[in-house]
Amino acid sequence: MKAVITVTGIDKIGIIANVSSILADSSVNIEDISQTTTQGYFMMYMLVDISDMSVSFGELSQKLSDRGGRMGLEIRIQKDEIFKAMHSV
């Protein structure tokens, strides 16, 4: 099972480290990652494998959201099938 994580906000040191540490602690594997900064804004998209995660999807979502709030970022996770359905024509 796959999920898509999006991270947006003002660029600062430690964003990738903070997000990836939550994923590692939750047994979530990062399969693909794309990030960019534009005029001080940070944007990152991750495709992750949640097949073996050690927490519930809701708990992982809350951990990411909480960390984002503390860092002044918006971090969202969506299951792949929901993400595809929302963005299909």
Average pLDDT of every residue of the chain: 94
- Residue 89 counted as domain residue: no
- Residue 76 structure tokens: 């969202």
86 within domain boundaries: no
Tokens of 16: 């990738």
For CA atoms 67, 31, 6, 2, the dihedral sign is negative
CATH assignment at residue 13 = 3.30.70.260
Query: How many independent structural domains does the chain possess?
Result: 1
State residue 82's pLDDT score.
Answer: 73
For 47-85, what is each residue's pLDDT tens digit? 999 999 999 999 999 999 999 999 999 999 999 877 667
Residue 83, C-beta contacts closer than 8 angstroms, at least 6 positions apart: 3, 4
Number of CB atoms found within 10 A of residue 81's CB: 11
State pTM to two decimals: 0.89
Give me the pLDDT at residue 89, please.
Answer: 64
Q: Is a pLDDT exceeding 80 seen at residue 87?
A: no
57-71 and 15-25 helices cross at what angle (nearest 10)? Answer: 160
Range of the domain at 39: 2-80
pLDDT in tens, 8-48: 999 999 999 999 999 999 999 999 999 999 999 999 999 99
